[in-house]
Structure 1
Amino acid sequence: MKTLRLRPGKERSLLRRHPWIFESAIAKGGGDSGETVRVESADGRFLAWAAFSPTSRIRARAWSFDEAQRIDAAFFTAAVARAVRARQR
């Protein structure tokens, strides 16, 4: 699993559950387009699982803030089901 390490102080928005990680917040790391990466604070603490986008200013978008969460087919099936239920109300 590839990792993004953020610059010091750039984890604040993720701690508030904002899903975007801008290119200027990243100290090191990367991945392939669309690849799920582990996002860590400057001191190595887990922050999120995110989809990496090497050409966007929004370099990664968080999938989950739960370290134990697996980003797999079941994750996407559940996310789509939640979205459908939300729209049925």
Structure 2
Amino acid sequence: MEQYKKIKLKPKKESSLKRFHPWVFSGAIASLPDNIEEGDVVEVYANDNTFLGVGHYQIGTIAVRILSFKQKEIDASFFEERLQEAYQMRESINLVRADNNTYRLVHGEGDMLAGLIIDIYGALAVVQAHSVGMHMSRHMIATALEAVLNNSIEHIYYKSEGTLPYKAPIDPEDSFLLGGKHDLTKVAIENNLK
């Protein structure tokens, strides 16, 4: 497993994480590694060195968005597993069906993918990153999305130019990760309405 940078919390600041709240606020952090960069995957530890979670670091009030409360590698298989869980949940509540191919597949923290939104419109998926870490993971996410939806997605549009932190040291650009502007004449259906 990859070695991630470690963030240690101040004493008695771990209670929200022990209740599975997916955010670490900057005021709870005792120390940061010297070479940490926005978007890095980090492990979070209590002041007594107890592991609490792994997530993306970002500059701001919400300093870490937790992706797992277990020690896991945040790689392509992680995203595929999380997207599969999100898809199965939408299937179980009958959102995915012939007369409804338009739905939100990923709703950030609710699907344990803090900082990520994915909407499905028929054969088009629209991916929005709300954190630098998710922005940096966009290609892994697109590959996982294709695998989970059994290649039923023909286009993946990355639309994060206006949703990423404005001070982030990146130059985001809305663009297609799969497919393109050609052949975008697919029909999206919501509750039998086209």
Q: TM-score, normalised by structure 1?
A: 0.90
Q: Which runs of 4+ in 1 moved over 6 A?
A: none
1:46 to 30, 48, 51: 51
2:16, 2:61 → 1: CA distance?
Answer: 16
- Determine if the alignment matches structure 1 residue 85 to structure 2 residue 85: no
2:78 aligns to what?
Answer: 75
Aligned residue identity for 1:63: L
2:68, 2:37 → 1: CA distance?
Answer: 19
1:74, 1:14 → 2: CA distance?
Answer: 24
| 3-state secondary structure, aligned to 1:18 | coil
Q: How much has 1:84 moved relative to structure 2?
A: 1.6
Identical pairs, percent: 37
| 3-state secondary structure, aligned to 2:38 | coil
1:35, 1:79 → 2: CA distance?
Answer: 19
Q: How much has 1:32 moved relative to structure 2?
A: 1.5
Q: CA RMSD in A?
A: 1.1
1:35, 1:85 → 2: CA distance?
Answer: 29
Aligned residues: 87
1:1-89 matches, within 5 Å, as: 1-30=4-33, 31-54=36-59, 56-67=60-71, 69-88=72-91, 89=93
Q: How much has 1:87 moved relative to structure 2?
A: 1.8
In our comparison, the structure showing a higher alpha carbon Rg is: 2
Structure with a larger share of its residues in strand: 1
Q: How much has 1:43 moved relative to structure 2?
A: 1.3
| 3-state secondary structure, aligned to 1:10 | coil
Q: How much has 1:71 moved relative to structure 2?
A: 1.3
Q: How much has 1:50 moved relative to structure 2?
A: 1.3
1:44, 1:29 → 2: CA distance?
Answer: 14
1:48, 1:60 → 2: CA distance?
Answer: 10
| 3-state secondary structure, aligned to 2:44 | strand
Q: TM-score, normalised by structure 2?
A: 0.43
